[in-house]
Amino acid sequence: MRTFLAFAFTLLVMLAAPVRGQSAQLANDGTAATHGPIVVLITIDGFPARALKDPRLPMPTLRKLQQQGAYADAMQPINPSVTWPNHTTLITGVTAAQHHVMANGLITFPADGSMPEVKPWTPKEDWVHARTLYDALAEKGMSTGQVDWVAIYQAKNVRWSFAEEPDADGVIARDLTDQGLVTREQVAGFGNWRNQDSSPAWRDQIWTDAAIDILTRHTPNLLLFHLLQTDSLQHGYGALSQPAYAAFADADANIARLVEAARKAGLLDRITFIIASDHGFTNYTHIIRPNIALVEQGWLHQEKGNYRGGVWIQPEGGEASLYIRDHAKRAALLPKLQAYFAKMPGVAAVYTGNDAQRLGLPAPGSTDQAPDLYLVAKAGYSFMEGTQGSLITNVDPARGGHGYLNTDPDMQALFIASGAHIRRGVQLGAISNLSVAPTIAKLLGVSLPAATQPPLANMLE
């Protein structure tokens, strides 16, 4: 009975979803791209490619887009298999070796030797070192909109924006408040996850409202749209867990709303929908806090209540980047640190800067984001922050993570293309996410000279 009620509720949500906000839809404001192709790039964060093979996956909209278009059996992410680096690759066509995005924000190193900070709200121009699709479009007088996209803060060539932490006084926020979909106070507190008016599902819903508004009222040539709840719930409850499947169903309902809004606005014959994910997911049952090892070995010391030192590790699930801030000691420390961590339980491999090119990581010296050593966790282990407690702890029940090498089968991502200019019934096999940006560039008639892979021409009409 409980299963039936859950199914009935999901079905009700999906059937009701397309009508949200449409009765109050604002008129086109005169800025729309009135002709030519439109690409809508939708990312479902953390959606593993293998989930698409499960007949129990409750995503009828995604299945329909798959059947009507082209799809990959698996799409390989870049290293690190983390959200912000891979979203940046999807719109540049280059690896982290070129764009230098290594974490979910700019890694900064305090002058006093204290713990590095990851700063997400860093202006794009200060840390994304690659030509983006929206830069290429702006050169031709074409426009871009973005909803919850990342590594895009204050990007000058994005015309319409409703960000992960949106501007309550921005154009799109005002559109939504005028339609009664959200209040100004709710937008102002949108980034506060502890806000009682906020939840992962609600944020995805409002982001979808914003995507609909941008597409149907402002109609950019390119819309970048990121759904996040699927990542949040897999981190908390495990990869492909029951809560994850509920999040997948909710993502499908949001995509259905966007497609229906495009249909009602008469845009479907111009739109190519590309639905992708940034990385897959896997489960772990052990946590490693590698900075505790640095404390135990004397590389970090406590001073006035905080730990400081010339060596720090920035952990991110299946990978951890080690930085030696004392340049004078780097040559002597590197072999010692590599040998030490290579023997640590739960560590699968420790790569040096000489391995950077093979892994697609920035080489040491090319940027301060480049690690001196790159640690990869074994299956079942995950790197986490912390300087106190046990070096390795157990987790029960299992949790979900990513960041493992991009060759790991569980890290493979989703790719579906459907709509205008896409051939029907094309199975692409295994592809690289480096092909996505050049494919979009070809569809929109712009150039990305630095892209390292060709467009997916066999799926294009």
Residue 132 pLDDT greater than 60, yes or no: yes
- Interacting residues of 411 by C-beta distance below 8 A, sequence separation 6+: 48, 76, 77, 81, 279, 280, 282, 318, 402, 404, 405
Residue 230 pLDDT greater than 70, yes or no: yes
| Bridge partners, residue 419, by sequence | 272
Side-chain-facing half-sphere of 321: CA atoms under 13 Å:
29
16 or 36: which leads in pLDDT = 36
Q: What angle do CA 348, 354, 358 make, to 5 degrees?
A: 70
**Token match 């100004």: residue?**
184
- Per-residue pLDDT, 34: 78
- Per-residue pLDDT, 28: 65
Distance CA 447, CA 136 (A): 7
Distance CA 222, CA 84 (A): 19
- Per-residue pLDDT, 22: 45
Contacts of 162-165 with CB under 8 Å at 24 or more apart are 162/207, 162/210, 162/211, 162/213, 162/214, 164/120, 164/191, 164/228, 165/121, 165/190, 165/191
| Alpha-carbon torsion (377, 380, 384, 387), positive or negative | negative
Arithmetic mean of pLDDT, 327-355:
94
Query: Full-prediction pTM beyond 0.85?
Result: yes
Phi and psi based region of residue 282 (left: phi greater than 0; alpha: psi -120 to 50; beta: remaining): beta
Lowest mean pLDDT among 23-27, 148-152, 286-290, 371-375: 23-27
Residue 153 pLDDT greater than 80, yes or no: yes
- Compute CA distances 81 → 280, 388, 413, whole Å: 8, 27, 10
Residue 357 pLDDT greater than 60, yes or no: yes
- Per-residue pLDDT, 6: 40
Residue 110 pLDDT greater than 90, yes or no: yes
3-state SS assignment for residue 401: strand
Helix and strand counts by DSSP (H, E) for the chain: 14, 21
Query: DSSP of 194-231, one letter per residue?
Result: T-TT--HHHHHHHHHHHHHHIIIII--SEEEEEE-HHH
Which domains are present in the chain? 2-94+130-281+407-459 (3.40.720.10), 283-401 (3.30.1360.110)
Res. 32 pLDDT band, cuts 50 70 90: confident
Q: What angle do CA 228, 229, 232 make, to 5 degrees?
A: 95
3-state SS assignment for residue 154: coil
- Per-residue pLDDT, 26: 56
Q: pLDDT per residue over 57-107, tens digit each?
A: 999 999 999 999 999 999 999 999 999 999 999 999 999 999 999 999 999
Res. 14 pLDDT band, cuts 50 70 90: very low
Q: Are strands 430-432 and 74-76 parallel, antiparallel or unpaired?
A: parallel
Q: Please provide residue 223's backbone torsions phi and psi, each rounded to the nearest 5 degrees.
A: -120, 125
Helix H or strand E encompassing 42: strand 38-44
Q: pLDDT per residue over 295-331, tens digit each?
A: 999 999 998 889 999 999 999 999 999 999 988 889 9
Q: Average pLDDT of the chain?
A: 92
Q: What percent of the chain has pLDDT over 90?
A: 86
- Per-residue pLDDT, 356: 85
CB 172 within 8 A of CB 161: yes
